[in-house]
Amino acid sequence: MDAAFGMEYLHGKNIVHFDLKCENLLVNMRDPHRPVCKIGDLGLSKVKQHTLVSGGVRGTLPWMASELLSGKSNMVSEKIDVYSFGIVMWELLTGEEPYADMRCASIIGGIVNNSLRPQIPTWCDPEWKSLMERCWASDPARRPSFSEISQKLRKMAAAINVK
């Protein structure tokens, strides 16, 4: 949830991260009952002008949205971070690195063709699965905003606390 809140803040300031992945999420474990997650490594980030930002190929391959790799345009929206967040959700769910057993060329081809996504375990919570799949939708316009993601995660956490 903290990562989603942090990304909501960054996008509210028109900053696109471009390299969102678990390795760039810093967790303070001072209070083990309430760890705090912060977003790090803003080295590839850019400020959005109007509705788009100049992208180019930047980021880390398994977390990169297809619009970054297709070469059709070097202008992208903040929804590339939402795609990456979907992959982060999968990492948190499985504890694995996405596409660890694949070669770069296969990963690029699969992402560009929108035919490659990490395999979701059958035991995954349906709401988590739905949000994750919405985040990595092939059409950026169909991906939720971080405000929507934050709201959904709050509701999911509240439902867990009630149970």
Check if 31 is active-site: no
The per-residue DSSP string of the chain comes to: -HHHHHHHHHHHTTEE-S--SGGGEEEE-SSTTS-EEEE---TT-EE-BTTBEE--S-S-GGG--HHHHS-S-SEE-THHHHHHHHHHHHHHHH-S-TTTTS-HHHHHHHHHTT---PPPPTTS-HHHHHHHHHHT-SSGGGSPPHHHHHHHHHHHHHHHHH-
Give me the catalytic one of 2, 19, 101, 139.
19
Catalytic site positions? 19
